[in-house]
Structure 1
Amino acid sequence: MRARRMTSLLAAALLVVALGACSDDGKDEPKSSPSTSSGTPGETTSGSADPTSSGPTEVEPATGPLVTLHSTATLRLPASVKWRTYGDKTTVVTIKSVDFAPGTEKFYYVDVTEFPQIDDNLARMAELARESQEGTREIPLKVGANRTIAGVEGFVLEGQGPNGQFYEWGGLDADNVLTTVAFVVPNGLDLEEWVEPVLASLQWQ
């Protein structure tokens, strides 16, 4: 478990360093005005994100255990399974469950992180995060349409491979702190059923 948390820390640190190296390209990605849309994510085949997606907002927030990041956000997990949480109230929180579905051998993972950034270009962050997560998860990923969660616009990564289904949302708050919520869900299960209630429960501190 310590190795997995160190991998998350390393991936996020690489994102910060890479953004610093290219920050002189200009900050050409404006932040969105706050909204409360939590639409169904779209996806593109290019490395750049589409305009912010919109979609159904009638998603019941998860009501299970509370997860707290060090300074940016809280969220809840689905109440239907048992969870093990590592690093609660730190900058990297990892949650997993072996009680995800009968006969399922894969874990269900949720990784939640927060890290200060020196850039505010979401498209560039999305591409750097995609490269990092593909190397870590060994799942081919695409950059989806940006979406707004609890008033903060963020990038979307999604994909599927032998190791499961992957979905990540990464939002940049007014203090340029990037908060990411990444999911790995076993193949054969409904990704949205497990992702959307968690994102709907997210609240900023």
Structure 2
Amino acid sequence: MVNVSGKANTKRSATASGRIHIPKVAYNLIAFPGVPDDTSDVNFNKSATQIGTEKARSKGNVLTVAQLAAIMGCKRTSELIPLCHPLSLSHIAVSLRLEASRPTTQQQSPELVGSSEFGTVSRDLNLEDRSPYSIVCEATVSCEGKTGVEMEALTAVSVGLLTVWDMLKAVAGREMVIGDIFIQRKEGGKSGDFVRPRP
């Protein structure tokens, strides 16, 4: 661990965000709870979708459970990341929101490029290959301490998105993609404030 004993306590905060792309059937499950599913654009039979939807619904509210998991994960960052300092956090705020954008291209499966001892290898998904339906997770973490809270914010987002995956895997299967996890802004510390420019 880095020795921070000589540093003074200062107010620090960091905001991170990330996204999980989900298929339309999973988006509808969250956006329109209780409404029958439209499975006309899904490549598997309706009975499998209905079973998966029932399993996903039985786990509870996806966004609420993921928000709680993100907060819990944030508080345990130093146990998960080997060289992180344990911090006394003063505030954790996590939000998750649904987003739907217009698809830019026909959705396609990843192109297979070979195999290895670990199984089939596929080309990384391009942005155009991802579903236009997604959930964005944003976490802001604050403390008064000797080191920053960027790792705590990133951990919160990562755990929140992984929880969404777990909650939806029965209905969304292998179609989900987690990505775009980054620090949006930070305040405090020797390196000063930082705000990531908008694309």
TM-score (norm 2): 0.32
CA radius of gyration, larger in: 2
**Bigger relative contact order, structure 1 or 2 (CA pairs below 8 A, ≥6 apart):** 2
TM-score (norm 1): 0.31
The structure carrying a bigger helix percent of its residues is: 2
